[in-house]
Amino acid sequence: MSADSSTSQEIPNPAVDGSELIRFDKVVKRYGSNVVLDELDFSVASGKHVTLIGPSGSGKTTILRLLMTLVRPEQGTIKVGGNYLTHEEKNGKLVPAGEKHVREVRKNIGMVFQQFNLFPNMKVLRNITEAPVNVLGLSKDEAEQRARELLDLVGLGDRCDAYPTQLSGGQQQRVAIARALAMRPQVLLLDEVTSALDPELVAGVLDVLRDIAHTTDITMLCVTHEMNFARDISDQVLMFDSGRVIESGTPEKIFTEPEHERTREFLSAVL
């Protein structure tokens, strides 16, 4: 660990104990000798929309991948909804979490990826109903009703019977958003969800997400290079650099009065 690892803990973070949905405690993630996250502490309060910004390679996506348990940390703990994701308690001791425990905690988390990741051989409706039926045990009728409501929400109520390849990238990403929401997760993770889209399709996807952010109480943790979108939807923006939160605050504060030199440099390069 670097000698000044305590600095990340001094960053004020509005998430308060009791209402926090996500908590990282001293999380270390390394790839070989590359220390991507260095004793990272951060939390996200229930119902808030938090955006991670920062230079390429600073570890933003790694945080989302840890939450999806696509990768595991070398040290530290992660909690979601008060339950350990990384560990489970057995006989009063914390031990590394087993698959069954991880699956249970992860039900609370939905993710939308850069590359949509829809099932190409399934029609749109089935893409959305598959997990609610198989994982949550919903009946086919219940799952289809939920899927149709969500397709209406993302403006694709008339495309239930299309295959993903018959849709534009923007439409596919809106299906992916509906699919994530169909699991009724407590938190929605958004990983640069517009970066694979043609420019003219970006606005439609961001409008849907703005709508969801403003009309639902879902917690959102978002990695984006779309600074206007971050400004619009975020309650809190976290500026990342080298796996640390170096500055956090409201979008107004971060975008108009950044305190940290690295934040100013980053924003002047991207705005």
Ligand X SMILES: Nc1ncnc2c1ncn2[C@@H]1O[C@H](COP(=O)(O)OP(=O)(O)OP(=O)(O)O)[C@@H](O)[C@H]1O
| Residue from 2, 31, 70, 166 binding ligand X (CB under 6 A) | 31
Measured torsion, CA atoms of residues 198, 203, 206, 211, in degrees rounded to the nearest 10: -150
Provide the minimum distance between the beta carbon of 48 and ligand X in the complex, in angstroms, as a whole number: 20
The position carrying tokens 């045990």 is 137
State the number of CA atoms in the 13 A half-sphere of 66 facing the CB: 30
56 lines the binding site for ligand X (CB under 6 A):
yes
| Residue from 60, 101, 106, 126 binding ligand X (CB under 6 A) | 60
Provide the minimum distance between the beta carbon of 56 and ligand X in the complex, in angstroms, as a whole number: 3
User: Which CB atom, from 2 or from 134, has the smaller least distance to ligand X?
Assistant: 2
Ordered DSSP codes for 29-41: EEETTEEEEEEEE
**Region binding ligand X by CB under 6 A among candidate stretches 20-28, 54-62, 88-96, 128-136:** 54-62
Contacts of 231 (CB under 8 A, 6+ apart): 251, 255
Q: By three-state DSSP, how is residue 163 classified?
A: coil
Q: By three-state DSSP, how is residue 13 classified?
A: coil
| Residue from 59, 73, 76, 164 binding ligand X (CB under 6 A) | 59
User: Which CB atom, from 59 or from 185, has the smaller least distance to ligand X?
Assistant: 59
61 lines the binding site for ligand X (CB under 6 A):
yes
106 lines the binding site for ligand X (CB under 6 A):
no
Of 32-51, binders to ligand X (CB under 6 A) are 34, 36
CB of 52 closer than 8 Å to CB of 223:
yes
Q: Could you tell me how many residues of this chain bind ligand X (CB under 6 A)? A: 11
User: Which CB atom, from 36 or from 85, has the smaller least distance to ligand X?
Assistant: 36
Q: By three-state DSSP, how is residue 71 classified?
A: coil
Kind and range of the H or E run holding 239: strand 236-241
- Residue of 171, 142, 146 whose CA lies nearest to 156: 171
The residues that touch ligand X, with contacts defined as CB under 6 A, are 31, 34, 36, 54, 56-62
